[in-house]
Amino acid sequence: MNLIERAGLGLLHRIDPERAHGLSLKALTLGLVPLPGVVTSARLATRVAGLDLPNPVGLAAGFDKNAVAIGPLMRAGFGFIEVGAATPRPQPGNPQPRLFRLAEDRAAINRFGFNNEGAAAISARLALRPKGPVPVGLNLGANKDSADRAADFAAVLAACGPHVDFATVNVSSPNTEKLRDLQGRAALAALLAGVMETRATLARPIPVFLKIAPDLTEADLADVAEVALASGVDAVIATNTTLSREGLKSTHRDQAGGLSGAPLFERSTRVLARLSVLTEGRLPLIGVGGISTPDQAFQKIRAGASAVQLYTAMVYEGIGLAARIAHGLDSLLERNGFANVADAVGTGRADWL
- Quick one: pLDDT at residue 181? 78
Q: What count of other Cβ atoms lies within 10 Å of the Cβ of residue 251?
A: 11
Contact 76, 319 (CB under 8 A): yes
Contact 111, 175 (CB under 8 A): yes
* 334 three-class SS: helix
State which amino acid sits at residue 297: A
Give the residue among 154, 152, 159, 155 at the shortest CA–CA distance from 127. Answer: 159
- Quick one: pLDDT at residue 239? 96
C-alpha span between 177 and 174 (Å, rounded): 7
**Alpha-carbon distance values, 178 to 96, 149, 187, 238 (Å):** 21, 10, 12, 19
Check: pTM over 0.85? Answer yes or no.
yes
- Quick one: pLDDT at residue 2? 75
State which amino acid sits at residue 124: A
pLDDT tens for the chain, 353 residues long, are 777 788 888 889 999 999 999 999 999 999 999 999 999 999 999 999 999 999 999 999 999 999 999 999 999 999 999 999 999 999 999 999 999 999 999 999 999 999 999 999 999 999 999 999 999 999 999 999 999 999 999 999 999 999 999 999 998 887 777 777 787 788 899 999 999 999 999 999 999 999 999 999 999 999 999 999 999 999 999 999 999 999 999 999 999 999 999 999 999 999 999 999 999 999 999 999 999 999 999 999 999 999 999 999 999 999 999 999 999 999 999 999 999 999 999 999 999 99
Q: Per-domain residue ranges for the chain?
A: 3-344
Q: Which residues are catalytic?
A: 173
Greatest alpha-carbon span in the chain: 53
* 29 three-class SS: helix
- Quick one: pLDDT at residue 179? 75
- Quick one: pLDDT at residue 185? 87
Contact 26, 16 (CB under 8 A): no
Could you give the angle at the alpha carbon of 187 between the alpha carbons of 229 and 170, nearest 5°?
70
Cis peptide before 97 (omega within 30 of 0): yes
Sequence-distant (≥ 6) Cβ neighbours of residue 287 within 8 angstroms? 238, 268, 269, 272, 300, 301, 303, 304, 305, 307, 308, 309
Give the residue among 108, 41, 91, 92 at the shortest CA–CA distance from 264. Answer: 108
Give the residue among 30, 89, 35, 99 at the shortest CA–CA distance from 62. Answer: 99
- Quick one: pLDDT at residue 3? 75
- Quick one: pLDDT at residue 162? 98
* 186 three-class SS: helix
What would the CATH number be for the domain defined by 3-344? 3.20.20.70
C-alpha span between 90 and 96 (Å, rounded): 17
